[in-house]
Structure 1
Amino acid sequence: MAFGANRRRLTLVLAGLVTLAVLAVGAVVVARAVGDDRRVPTAGSTSPAASASGQPSPSASPSTPPPGADIKGPLNLLLVGVDTRVSVPGWRPNADAVLILHVPAGLSRAYLFSLPRDLVVDIPAFPPAGYRGGRTKLTHAMSYGSRVPDRPKQPDPAQGYELLRQTVSDYTGLRIDAGAVLTFGGFDKLVDSLGGVDIHVDQRVVSRHRQPDGTHREPGPGVGGYTGPQMVYEPGDRHLNGWQALDYARQRYLSGGDYTRQRHQQQLIRALVLKMLDDDLARQPERIEQVTGALGDMLVYVGGRKIVEFGYALSGLKPDAFTLVGLPGAGVGRGNAYRGEELTQVGRRFLTELRAGRADAFLADNPKLKVPS
């Protein structure tokens, strides 16, 4: 395989993982799961810096199968954004958004869906963190798993990811092959390096966090309160820069609540993927460097195989092969007795049909589950 083709495929899948994870709104990951030298602590993983330059040697024999050629699917990638208050000693990360990319056998289609952060699930016991297990909100799995008993003020997000992965796998019945967690700071640069993104704003969104000029609103009275002018995103086709895209996708206090936010995250994912493909980054080496450089240490990749291998395996996916799915849910309990969320029967049935390879037929019978792009 030619060097340029290798790099294009690697860049696209790396950017795809990041853009999926980056939409985990409100996330700030403590990305210390890699050391100061950026080495990932598991043998099968690779850091963003290594991934961007670690493609197979262009001098390899043409008859040698490229890395990842043996991956036939199905594949399941778990992409997590984590709410971490890095300024607070000992603060343990909560999973603020959880997205799953399912690619069936044959690797010609992909389904992207979110699980509600407040989904009530059974979290298994996790001895490394001293957690005994329990039934609670999905968002807490990351927090409970990140505990380090002999270092209570130094949580380990990579360890937390493992408990979250186990929990998601148990709930969905899907084997998780790889995934990523994300640090928040590089997102603006990533989007801006692409010249912004085009997205259809489907409802009026008033920002709780940003002013019209992009500056942050000042903290105000009450829990989570802010003061000052607010940025407003009006319905219609809009071109958003980095901070606008991030701000738009993180808003939760809207009609439809977190389910609306999940829809906006997925729409933005598609917009980013289309932008990367339309720009044909392979023919613009300097822009490849900008995009991969913008990632910095924002991404921690977790997987048993190198990201370049998934890059080759997924290189045949086309933008129109991505189906965005919104799983409906409802609250469990009300008022002071609110316990969290649960998927409706239709939402749970989608997971069953997905595992059985019948997702397309099920979505044809339940078209409202498909998220408009």
Structure 2
Amino acid sequence: MRYRQEHAEPETQFIEAQPPSEPTQEAPPKRRRWKKAVLITLAVLVLLAGGGVLAGGLYYRSVNNGIERVDAFDGVPEAERPPVVEKAKGAMNIMILGSDSRDPESDSGSRTDTIILAHIPKDHSSAQLISIPRDTWVNVPKSAQGRGGRDAKINASFAWGGIPLMVQTVEKFTGVRVDHVTIVDFGGFKEIVDALGGIDVDVEKGFTTLYALNGSRTFAAGRQRMDGAAALDYARERHAFADGDFARIRHQQQVIKAILDKAASGGTLANPAKLNSFVKATADAVAVDKSLNLLDLATDLRELRSGNLTFLTCPTKGTGTIGGESVVLADKEKAAQVFEAVRSDNVPEILSAAQ
């Protein structure tokens, strides 16, 4: 993916994976394996969630240096940003933005379809990923170009002022200071899942897609193996459900968790060709802010494991209509409790307040 600051549709280029020049089937030494496990875990954590990319073994330095960088905080007034709470120093908040440039019904050239605030506490032992529905009705600050300055759906801020205005909007809505930003093209899920040899997902309720990539697709209830195309259709669908985007958020979270579990498995880590393929597919689907050092992040989070990731959704009161638009109405009181817990790095309170 190559993010364009003018918000045109991202240009996605996929590189054919080649195995390392001297592959070996021997398991890496234990020290190297924990590094790979951390890097792969973060690949999917920053992958949205959502979405990001880190490489394992021989790849991590080249990926860190070669990953696309964006001016995420350009023009964001420091005086208007939330301060860092003293007792939360050492914690980190990463805003993950996802779009789907290949979704036939997507307008991701000007909007972002997925917004996640990932909180990593200062002990670096866990991560809480809080999805904010894209239609949440909020106050959007005025951009440097003079757009915004009124109430609107939260993802309108991306169209009006790009990533910097999205940072301002999320910070104003949550009161949480955003430390880093990643941008993911979820269309890249297909290549990522295929590079892993498929993923296993528990389908909560059988359904038939209405906007699948290649015609309709039926998913039966229960656990099933999905290839890349099926996983992408599963993560995209919202029209087949009464709760629309809320169902899509749940399914995206399921797919991310399944990718993480599969990527962190020994079969991927010990197979140079599979690892290489996964890393390249993930790298092509993401961009990060200029100050994020993926290698440092991986080192800091070396104790993080997939079982310590919790997926949550910003509390809402459901949907409504404002000015003829269908919107999501935030439960401001409960949301304030969740984000106050994030600000103060109180993980138990984050988990209880988000219920």
- Fold equivalence (TM over 0.5): yes
Query: What is the 5 A alignment of 1:1-373?
Result: 5-21=34-50, 40=69, 73-82=90-99, 84=101, 92-127=109-144, 129-145=145-161, 160-210=162-212, 216-217=214-215, 230-253=216-239, 254-279=241-266, 281-331=268-318, 333-334=320-321, 337-338=324-325, 340-344=327-331, 345-361=333-349, 363-364=351-352, 369=354
Distance 1:294 1:39 in 2: 14
* CA displacement at 1:337 relative to structure 2: 3.7
Letter in 2 for 1:97: T
Letter in 2 for 1:123: V
Distance 1:268 1:182 in 2: 14
Distance 2:101 2:190 in 1: 18
In structure 2, the residue corresponding to 1:288 is in which secondary structure? helix
Distance 2:72 2:335 in 1: 36
* CA displacement at 1:348 relative to structure 2: 3.5
* CA displacement at 1:194 relative to structure 2: 0.7
The C-alpha deviation readout for 1:217-253, integer Å capped at 9, x for no partner, is: 3xxxxxxxxxxxx211121111111111111111112
Contact 1:83–1:93, Cα closer than 8 Å, also in 2: no
* CA displacement at 1:91 relative to structure 2: 8.3
Distance 1:113 1:192 in 2: 27
Segments of structure 1 that go 5 or more residues without pairing to the other structure are: 24-36, 45-70, 146-159, 218-229
Distance 1:359 1:72 in 2: 14
* CA displacement at 1:265 relative to structure 2: 1.5
In structure 2, the residue corresponding to 1:209 is in which secondary structure? coil
The C-alpha deviation readout for 1:63-121, integer Å capped at 9, x for no partner, is: xxxxxxxx97311111111255899xx98520111112111111112111110111111
Counterpart position of 1:32: none
Contact 2:95–2:116, Cα closer than 8 Å, also in 1: yes
Segments of structure 2 that go 5 or more residues without pairing to the other structure are: 1-29, 53-65, 74-87
Tell me how many residue pairs correspond in the alignment. 295
Letter in 2 for 1:80: L
Contact 1:72–1:107, Cα closer than 8 Å, also in 2: no
Contact 2:38–2:303, Cα closer than 8 Å, also in 1: no
Q: TM-score, normalised by structure 1?
A: 0.70
Contact 2:100–2:187, Cα closer than 8 Å, also in 1: no
- Provide closer, same or farther for how the CA distance between residues 130 and 241 of structure 1 changes in structure 2, counting only shifts above 3 A: same
Q: TM-score, normalised by structure 2?
A: 0.73
Contact 2:318–2:328, Cα closer than 8 Å, also in 1: yes
Distance 1:125 1:202 in 2: 41
Percentage identity across paired residues of the two chains = 25
